[in-house]
Homo-oligomer: A and B are copies of this chain.
């Protein structure tokens, strides 16, 4: 009996599925290391992919913000199951990533702000609150699960559309 899940060789279909999941996601589950206990801590975040890099907009007051300030190694699960069928047959993608804060008083923040609002218009309600900051989630690797027995290990290059 194998002791780890067998991986399939990465093909163009797997890359296309991963890119579609990243492109469609508006929210995600973020895993961080809890700054007080060292245990994993998972919370919901807003999610978008801007200029080819996964991005979130978070409050500095939230536990996950403090956690990423302490330890930038994070994991991001995207790809929501629909309301029907076994949720485990729906494709999903786990990114392993490094969090990078973007200073609010920067040209980069202003540029991300405009693009973010195009995709997340409801964020106008809070995007200019003093505690809200963009954090890039720069992928270091990814695991695609396209359903039972369809697992792929992906590289950061696999996630970026060459077009």
Contact B145 A43 (CB under 8 A): yes
Known: A61-B3, A62-B5. A122 touches B86 (CB 8 A): yes
- Interface of chain A: mostly helix, strand, loop or mixed: mixed
Interface assignment of A85: CB less than 8 Å from any CB of chain B: yes
Copies in the complex: 2
A45: nearest chain-B partner, CB-CB: B88
Contact B77 A4 (CB under 8 A): no
Known: A43-B145, A96-B39, A145-B44. A130 touches B1 (CB 8 A): yes
Q: Which residues of B contact A45 (CB under 8 A)?
A: 88
Known: A27-B88, A46-B87, A61-B2. A73 touches B143 (CB 8 A): no
**Which of A12-20, A30-38, A109-117, A155-163 forms contacts with chain B?**
A30-38
Give, as a whole number of angstroms, the nearest-CB distance from A88 to chain B.
Answer: 6
A74: nearest chain-B partner, CB-CB: B40
A29: nearest chain-B partner, CB-CB: B29
Within 8 A of B (CB), among A105-153: 120, 122-123, 125-126, 130-131, 143, 145, 148
Give, as a whole number of angstroms, the nearest-CB distance from A160 to chain B.
Answer: 21
Contact A74 B39 (CB under 8 A): yes
Contact B148 A126 (CB under 8 A): yes
Interface assignment of A101: CB less than 8 Å from any CB of chain B: no
